[in-house]
Amino acid sequence: MHSKLPAIRAFVLAAWHVLAVLGVILYPPSWGLALLTFAVYVIGMFGITAGYHRYFSHRSFRTSRAGQLVLAVLAQSTLQKGVLWWAANHRHHHVFSDHKEDIHSPKHHGLLHAHMGWVVSNEGQTHDARRIRDLVRIPELRWLERYHTVPPIALAVGMTMVGGMNGLVWGFTLPLLLLQHATFSVNSVAHVWGRRPYATEDTSRNNFLLAILTLGEGWHNNHHFYQVSARQGFLWWQIDPTFQVLRVLSWVGLVWDLKTPPARVLAARNAAPVSP
């Protein structure tokens, strides 16, 4: 029975795609609905990039306990499991980047598995709590992890109450599906296509298109080279909206201690071989 579970999860994932397409056909778009999808996508992506990735996984800036909770709830609304699961698996990725133990390495497990296959696999359901000792100490994060479906269910119910089926399709089903593909493309696409100005020991790449779709996460080679930075677009033209929003939030005191790449990191570009 246990071995059938990945197939069942894959079926649910495929059904999610079918529902999104059917929803869009049955409930045609308007400018307002397209704007709703865009807003949910951008806010959810900020939760993932600023929250799950740059704050919880890498501690690249600081915020208050309330700010931390807001980031966790925002990120969890996107149906990418809980904050502890996300951060633990992501830290695991950085420890074993493109080694066999890396659960979503396209080099070892293939592009499809690196993209979404690992999410439905049995290994993808667990996380190593030893990687997140700093986070498991916080009771509200443990609660959110345990009830990780509460924020997305609340979003789905809220959207349906406000907008009926239009709200459910354009404010939940579609933007969350797009969010998942964009987020997981950092694990798959950004380890296959793009430039490598830093000769890291993994296959990470900088991908401009992905940087736009993920609010700055496409500068994945930069990130693998200097992981602790809240800024992933190191150069002026490397678009990084997440960092720009964090900068604005720091001006009003909602976040602080934003870590940025020092001069030695910027100077190490295109200077292969380099060591992190």
Q: How far is the CB of 60 from Zn ion (least distance, A)?
A: 9
Query: Which residue's C-beta sits nearest to Zn ion?
Result: 204
Q: How far is the CB of 221 from Zn ion (least distance, A)?
A: 9
- Please, which residue, 40 or 116, has the CB nearer to Zn ion? 116
Q: Is 173 exposed, middle or buried (0-12, 13-18, 19+ CB in 10 A)?
A: buried
Binding mask 145-184 for Zn ion (x = CB under 5 A): ----------------------------------------
Q: How far is the CB of 105 from Zn ion (least distance, A)?
A: 9
* Whole-number Å distance between alpha carbons of 241 and 212: 8
Binding mask 191-230 for Zn ion (x = CB under 5 A): -------------x--------------------------
Q: How far is the CB of 268 from Zn ion (least distance, A)?
A: 18
Q: How far is the CB of 217 from Zn ion (least distance, A)?
A: 9
How many residues touch Zn ion under the rule CB under 5 A: the total is: 1
Q: How many residues does the chain have?
A: 276
Q: Are strands 255-256 and 62-63 parallel, antiparallel or unpaired?
A: antiparallel
Query: What secondary structure letter does DSSP report for 256?
Result: E
Phi and psi at residue 98, in whole multiples of 5°?
60, 20
CB 62 within 8 A of CB 257: yes
The set of long-range contacts for 4-10, using a CB threshold of 8 Å and a minimum separation of 24, is 5/122, 6/120, 6/121, 6/122, 9/119, 9/120, 10/117, 10/120
- Please, which residue, 48 or 141, has the CB nearer to Zn ion? 48
Contacts of 239 (CB under 8 A, 6+ apart): 208, 211, 212, 216, 233
- Please, which residue, 204 or 206, has the CB nearer to Zn ion? 204
- Please, which residue, 63 or 204, has the CB nearer to Zn ion? 204
Amino acid letter, 208:
F
Q: How far is the CB of 57 from Zn ion (least distance, A)?
A: 6
- Please, which residue, 148 or 224, has the CB nearer to Zn ion? 224
Residues that bind Zn ion (CB under 5 A): 204
